[in-house]
Structure 1
């Protein structure tokens, strides 16, 4: 009886064939990369810039700070704002997110409560602490803008007053979302372009303010336009996704489910904001665009 032969190691010919295939694949990928860099330099520069900015980390931090800012401010406005302002915020939230059902009832429960009762539970000291802590969201947005433009941090004395101003302006913009979308009663045909124009203006101003005016106005325009267009489109999608997801989470998991849904949506919004502002900075520094906008030179390294 013949002894069975054990399968031996791969022959030298098989090994050499695999080496040639791997080398050929690597060479093909390098050629593809070189072609992409030659034909689409903006895309390759944007990709490397997004890696340097650490997009997901910046967006997640911004979303967390926005959530931690929004919830206390929700109760603060309900406690101290006039009834007309509170009603306007409810209307704006309806127009932006299209909430209904259980989520709508919870929102109205907060904003239709007795202000005196809310003021007793909130207190002046708590209100001041909420306002001070709200600047953490401003600082997160400032870090995002600085990373996008590869700029060092501005000194606290220069930047500190800008944080509460940014929060105050954005609270006013959020409260006016309803009238803007309706064109102040004229109709959606006027409201949508008006809303887009306001969004461009606010994001343009946001970058200029939080960068401490270290970048001229014109180079900031591409990022403002990209962000405004993307967020306007996302608010349309929000009406299709957020109400159903929010009510389902409330029914299944209670308030914790609503927290998860809102935070997930905020992360998506902040990823879009981070991507658009960073893309705007890259576009503004393209040679052809930079000559027209007067963009500042790109530093050699990212400082934070």
Structure 2
């Protein structure tokens, strides 16, 4: 059987240009680090860790009411009807804190440390760094505390006022808080092995990506919550929230990857300019 003829030269040149383009390099790098697989792991561990922790903390603050459910609805960008479904699912029972056992708290702690380890491994794959040694596990504790503190800050953010400046101020504060969190979180989990200036583009890309994900969620996930709640009940809402968390994980790792490529491109251009001078 004769081998198939080679593709024409114009197709080979086009394929080479696409592979060497920024989009092609990002696609290849994301496939090599198994970006979607890591995003799904991020969603699973995040759902097991963050939701129970925040529900318990909200139960310890009776004044917060449906604070976590309200923030989750705002993060996804749901409509009023879908917001009610989210609040029914993630409403804070008054007896949640009293009924929590020591074994339950220990399980949350284990899942939390595993979540921090998974995020650290993802960042290490982005920067092609070796796995950190076991004695750096304290960084997972710091990361988890920082993450819970940041989410609680978002949960307890007052609802925007009716005028135009209220929602705009809340959005700006959320963007600044998100940027600072991911900038600091990368530095903590990577153990200072990457400079602050190199981590800056990744924090910016992640923040903008989450903003874009919110717009996408308003168009896709918000209608799905309402329709899935009618079709599957509360389990349908869980599926949509879990899918949204997969998108968050994709943006978190993908934003860090885009930041690394942007940093390396900037360094390459600067070295090229120095050689020409």
| TM, length-normalised to structure 1 | 0.75
| Length, aligned pairs only | 267
Residue in 1 that maps onto 2:139: 162
- Partner in structure 1 of residue 71 of structure 2: 92
Alignment root-mean-square deviation, CA: 3.0
Shift of 1:288: 3.5
The alignment partner of 1:176 has SS state of helix
* Pairing partner for 2:204 from 225, 241, 244: 225
- Within 2, Cα distance between the matches of 1:50 and 1:199? 23
Cα contact 1:245–1:261 (8 A) shared by 2: yes
Match of 2:237 among 258, 269, 283: 258
In 2, Cα distance between the equivalents of 1:180 and 1:225?
25
Return the offset for 1:175. 2.8
2:153 matched to which residue of 1? 176
- Residue 228 of structure 1 and its aligned partner are, at CA, apart by 0.2
Say if 1:289 and 1:167 are closer, same or farther in 2 by CA, change over 3 A: farther
Distance, in Å, in 1 between the alignment partners of 2:113 and 2:28 is 30
TM value normalised by structure 2: 0.82
Task: Specify the alignment match of 2:190 in structure 1.
Answer: 211
Q: Note if contact 1:78-1:111 (Cα within 8 Å) is conserved in structure 2.
A: no
- Which residue pairs with 2:23 in the alignment? 43
Please give the per-residue CA displacement for 1:58-96, whole angstroms capped at 9, x wherever unaligned: 1111122112223432442344x2223455334323432
Match of 2:121 among 140, 143, 147: 143
Q: Which structure 2 segments of 5+ residues have no match?
A: 272-277
Report the 3-state secondary structure (helix = DSSP H, G, I; strand = E; otherwise coil) of the residue aligned with 1:121: coil
Alignment of 1:283-302 (within 5 A): 283-286=262-265, 288=267, 291=270
TM-superposed CA distance for 1:106, in Å, is 6.3
Pairwise CA distance, 1:141? 0.9
Q: Deviations over 1:108-151 (max 9, x none)?
A: 5764532xx32342123322321232222211111110000010
Which of 24, 27, 49 lines up with 2:9 in the alignment? 27
Distance change (3 Å), C-alpha of 1:290 and 1:124: farther
Partner Cα separation in structure 1 for residue 45 and residue 256 of structure 2: 18
Q: Which of 28, 35, 39 lines up with 1:55 in the alignment?
A: 35
2-side partners of 1:106 and 1:281: how far apart?
36
Separation (CA, whole Å) in 1 of partners of 2:14 and 2:86:
54
